[in-house]
Amino acid sequence: MSRGGVYRYFSSTEEMIRALLEKNNKEFIKYINELIDEHDKMWDALEDYLQNLESEASDPFSIVVYEYFVTGWRTEERRNYLARRYENGKAIFLRLFEEGVRRGEFSPKQPLEAINSFFINVNDGISMEATLLDEKTVRVAEQIKALKMYLKQALGLTK
């Protein structure tokens, strides 16, 4: 699509990025809900998610999102949007961890909120580094293996 064609639908780059972020967020919520619905065990859902993260760690969209927020940190409205987005992301993953507790599969050794925040930060770090460098340099597979080891212990995987 030409630049003019894009601006026919969006009045600014800001509006276009927001539309992409919202679309991505809706798809992500649907994806996590499907993982929860399709798996009897939440550990299996987590493993599927992490396998997907490993295969898509260097998705260029990750760096676009990162750059969007880093370059706009001085803009109060964008910081507020980032905070809302972060809280929504936390709620999405927390649902998965809470479902594991509800099903008797997880017996957390740390507060779920702490596990959840750590999980998100590691995910974001892996994606950003793999996009900036490459998956081999960043050792994505090894980092995900380490994250799984942490999660098994922190979540108190019981089954």
Per-residue pLDDT of the chain (159 residues; tens, 9 = 90+): 666 666 677 888 888 888 999 998 999 999 999 999 999 999 999 999 999 888 876 677 777 888 888 888 788 988 899 899 889 989 999 999 999 999 999 999 999 999 999 999 998 888 888 888 877 888 889 999 999 999 999 999 976
Cβ contacts of residue 137 below 8 Å, gap of 6+?
Answer: none
CATH superfamily of the domain spanning 12-155: Tetracycline Repressor, domain 2 (1.10.357.10)
Domain chopping of the chain, boundaries: 12-155
60-91 burial: b if 16+ Cβ within 10 Å, else e: eebbebeebbeebeeeeebeebbeeeeeebee
pLDDT number for residue 137: 84
Element (H, E) at 50: helix 42-56
Answer yes or no: are the C-beta atoms of 83 and 25 closer than 8 Å.
no
pLDDT number for residue 12: 83
d(CA 146, CA 133): 20
Answer yes or no: are the C-beta atoms of 128 and 62 closer than 8 Å.
yes
pLDDT number for residue 157: 93
